[in-house]
């Protein structure tokens, strides 16, 4: 009876409440999102350090470094100052973006790697998250469904430090469909006129000897295998992963049947000139079709053969302050892969963010980021000695934020470099900026 009475009281109490709030279970969309959520929920969200980390992750998307693929650099993260690197790149439908970050000094810090698609909505660019890397392998791969531009973001967890090698490249989505051949065997491309201009070529023609093995460019299911129409002996393979149909025509022999499941690289027939190709040399007509019709298959099977530039600059300088030995060009990336070239004065100081080819990616004290040839730079070693006439303050940056130390009157200090009227100096164990 007592139990019944208490149950009635409980029900009345519940109905008397204006609103019952049931907490929602949080589902992170990525490792980065889970880490961000954890920082905020832990109560640290209002701390200056966490605020700076959160702001950095958002602001860096608005000011990426434009790069051309393939691209590689050696970069460093500082454990004191929260930082993030972003790279903006173009890619084409048919090519797969692959990015890998590898620790050079065996750092076990977590680096969050995310890929964003750049969309334009109402004349405004919007970044949409499309892929994230495994935090163990630090590798991300993504197959764009449209030509476009993407931003790759590297954002380390708090207090992460280390030197890393970043490689970004694009590789074909499909295996080349003719054994032991490359794009040099393509003698007719998508859009070439056919039948005196009455129609256009809906694929590429790859020439090789008769009986050369023809291989499946992707894994899928054979939807048709046989002989019919202009294509003669042919096979159609449905790539369900990408919702695409692959067309192999003018074969001499067909080895597969309808309903067969094939893997990329399996031999499905041999090269020939059946169908309306009987008056030409043996070749494979290879086509790709989607929901909207024929798609140019060239970039699906042909790799980007631009060489990956070797890093010939001194990677030990990453994270170090350097200065110009003479007047030097500063190649500032100005968007759309065009370069705005400035001339830096002698003794201009800057910090090395990354080593790239025969140059360094550097940040000037005013926040501009660009590239300077390694031969024009030297480490920021003592340039000259000076004596203070009155008390001077050494600050972390030229804006005067965070005083690191003070130089008493009549004290000697070392000048390491300069930026306009400000000098980067060393006094005792402190290094920083002294403004006039």
- 229: CATH: 2.70.70.10
Judgement on whether residues 43 and 115 belong to the same structural domain of the protein:
yes
Instruction: Answer yes or no: is 332 within a domain.
Output: yes
Q: What SS3 state is found at 48?
A: helix
Nearest by Cα to 204 from 182, 220, 189, 187: 189
Question: In the Cβ-directed half-sphere of 425, how many Cα atoms lie within 13 Å?
Answer: 28
Instruction: Answer yes or no: is 357 within a domain.
Output: yes
| Cα–Cα separations (whole angstroms), residue 317 to 34, 57, 76, 333 | 34, 25, 10, 21
Question: In the chain, how many domains are there?
Answer: 4
Give me the pLDDT at residue 25, please.
Answer: 63
| Cα–Cα separations (whole angstroms), residue 315 to 102, 178, 355, 367 | 14, 42, 6, 22
Judgement on whether residues 188 and 267 belong to the same structural domain of the protein:
yes
Compute the distance between CA of residue 301 and CA of residue 190 in angstroms, rounded to an integer. 13
Compute the distance between CA of residue 138 and CA of residue 134 in angstroms, rounded to an integer. 5
Q: For residue 25, what is the DSSP state?
A: P
* pLDDT range class, residue 332, cuts 50, 70, 90: confident
Judgement on whether residues 39 and 115 belong to the same structural domain of the protein:
yes
State which residues form the domain around 238.
Answer: 183-296
Compute the distance between CA of residue 318 and CA of residue 379 in angstroms, rounded to an integer. 11
- State which of 296, 331, 346 marks the end of a domain: 296
Give me the pLDDT at residue 246, please.
Answer: 98
Give me the pLDDT at residue 11, please.
Answer: 42
Judgement on whether residues 210 and 288 belong to the same structural domain of the protein:
yes
Strands 193-194 and 95-103: unpaired
Torsion of CA 379, 103, 94, 121, to 10 degrees: -70
Reported as a single tens digit per residue, the pLDDT across 343-380 is 999 999 999 999 999 999 999 998 888 999 999 999 99
Give me the pLDDT at residue 293, please.
Answer: 94
Q: For residue 110, what is the DSSP state?
A: -
Can you point out the beta strands (E) in 133-264? 139-142, 148-156, 162-172, 186-188, 193-194, 199-200, 204-207, 213-215, 220-228, 232-239, 244-254, 261-262
Quick check: 160 and 77 in contact, CB under 8 A? yes
Judgement on whether residues 147 and 112 belong to the same structural domain of the protein:
yes
Give me the pLDDT at residue 374, please.
Answer: 96
Per-residue pLDDT at 13 exceeds 60? no
Judgement on whether residues 122 and 255 belong to the same structural domain of the protein:
no
Compute the distance between CA of residue 21 and CA of residue 15 in angstroms, rounded to an integer. 13
Compute the distance between CA of residue 375 and CA of residue 313 in angstroms, rounded to an integer. 9
Question: In the Cβ-directed half-sphere of 435, how many Cα atoms lie within 13 Å?
Answer: 9
Compute the distance between CA of residue 378 and CA of residue 349 in angstroms, rounded to an integer. 10
Judgement on whether residues 388 and 371 belong to the same structural domain of the protein:
no
Reported as a single tens digit per residue, the pLDDT across 213-234 is 999 999 999 999 999 999 999 9
Q: For residue 185, what is the DSSP state?
A: G
Instruction: Answer yes or no: is 309 within a domain.
Output: no
Mean pLDDT check: name the lowest of 88-97, 197-206, 265-274, 288-297: 197-206
- Residue 171 tokens read as 């590789």
Judgement on whether residues 287 and 230 belong to the same structural domain of the protein:
yes
- State which of 140, 172, 204 marks the end of a domain: 172
Instruction: Answer yes or no: is 274 within a domain.
Output: yes
Compute the distance between CA of residue 203 and CA of residue 294 in angstroms, rounded to an integer. 8
Beta bridge partners of 235: 225, 248
Per-residue pLDDT at 4 exceeds 50? no
* pLDDT range class, residue 26, cuts 50, 70, 90: low
Per-residue pLDDT at 17 exceeds 70? no
* pLDDT range class, residue 388, cuts 50, 70, 90: very high
Judgement on whether residues 403 and 371 belong to the same structural domain of the protein:
no
Q: What is the pTM of this model?
A: 0.86
Instruction: Answer yes or no: is 199 within a domain.
Output: yes
Average pLDDT on 150-154 reads 96
Per-residue pLDDT at 29 exceeds 90? no
Dihedrals phi, psi of 35, to nearest 5 degrees:
-65, -45
Of 83 and 169, the one with more pLDDT: 169
Q: What SS3 state is found at 102?
A: strand
Compute the distance between CA of residue 321 and CA of residue 415 in angstroms, rounded to an integer. 13
Average pLDDT on 89-112 reads 92
Judgement on whether residues 115 and 192 belong to the same structural domain of the protein:
no
Quick check: 306 and 69 in contact, CB under 8 A? yes
Instruction: Answer yes or no: is 10 within a domain.
Output: no
Judgement on whether residues 200 and 262 belong to the same structural domain of the protein:
yes
Mean pLDDT check: name the lowest of 10-14, 26-30, 224-228, 237-241: 10-14
Per-residue pLDDT at 162 exceeds 70? yes
Average pLDDT on 54-60 reads 93
Give me the pLDDT at residue 107, please.
Answer: 77
Of 336 and 103, the one with more pLDDT: 103
Which residues fall within 8 angstroms of residue 279, CB to CB, at 6 or more apart?
A: 273
């Amino acid at each position: 009876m007592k139990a019944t009475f208490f149950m009635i009281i409980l029900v009345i109490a519940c109905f008397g409440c204006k609103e019952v709030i049931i907490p929602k279970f949080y589902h992170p969309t990525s490792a980065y999102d889970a880490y961000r959520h954890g920082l905020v929920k832990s109560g640290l969200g209002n701390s200056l350090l966490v605020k700076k980390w959160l702001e950095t992750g958002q602001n860096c998307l608005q000011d990426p470094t434009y790069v051309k693929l393939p691209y590689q650099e050696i970069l460093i993260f500082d454990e004191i100052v929260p930082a993030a690197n972003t790279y903006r790149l173009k890619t084409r439908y048919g090519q797969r973006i692959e990015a890998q970050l590898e620790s050079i000094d065996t750092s076990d810090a977590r680096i969050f790697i995310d890929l964003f698609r750049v969309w334009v909505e109402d004349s405004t660019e919007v970044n949409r998250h499309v892929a994230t890397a495994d935090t163990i392998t630090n590798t991300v791969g993504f197959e764009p469904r449209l030509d476009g531009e993407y931003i790759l973001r590297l954002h380390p967890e708090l207090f992460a430090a280390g030197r890393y090698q970043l490689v970004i490249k694009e590789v074909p989505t499909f295996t080349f469909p003719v054994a032991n051949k490359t794009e040099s065997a393509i003698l007719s491309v998508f859009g070439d006129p056919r039948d005196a201009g009455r129609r256009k070529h809906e694929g590429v023609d790859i020439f090789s000897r008769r009986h050369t093995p023809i291989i499946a460019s992707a894994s899928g299911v054979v939807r048709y295998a046989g002989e019919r129409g202009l294509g003669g002996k042919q096979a159609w393979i449905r790539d369900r992963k990408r919702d695409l149909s692959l067309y192999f025509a003018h074969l001499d022999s067909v080895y597969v049947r309808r309903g067969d499941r094939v893997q990329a690289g399996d031999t499905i027939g041999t090269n020939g000139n059946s169908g309306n190709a009987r008056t030409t040399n043996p070749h494979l007509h290879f086509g790709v079709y989607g929901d909207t019709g024929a798609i140019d298959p060239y970039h699906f099977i042909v790799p980007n053969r631009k060489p990956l530039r070797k890093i010939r600059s001194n990677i030990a300088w990453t994270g170090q302050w350097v200065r110009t030995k003479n007047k030097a060009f500063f190649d500032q990336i100005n968007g759309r892969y065009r370069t705005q070239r400035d001339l830096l004065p002698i003794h201009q100081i800057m910090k090395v963010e990354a080593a790239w080819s025969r140059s360094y990616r550097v940040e000037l004290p005013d926040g501009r980021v660009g590239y300077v040839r390694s031969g024009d730079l030297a480490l920021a070693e003592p340039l000259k000695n000076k004596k203070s006439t009155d008390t001077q303050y050494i600050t972390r940056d030229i804006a005067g934020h965070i005083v690191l130390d003070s130089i008493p009157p009549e004290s000697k200090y070392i000048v390491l470099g300069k930026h306009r009227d400000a000098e980067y100096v060393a006094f005792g164990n402190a290094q920083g900026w002294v403004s006039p």
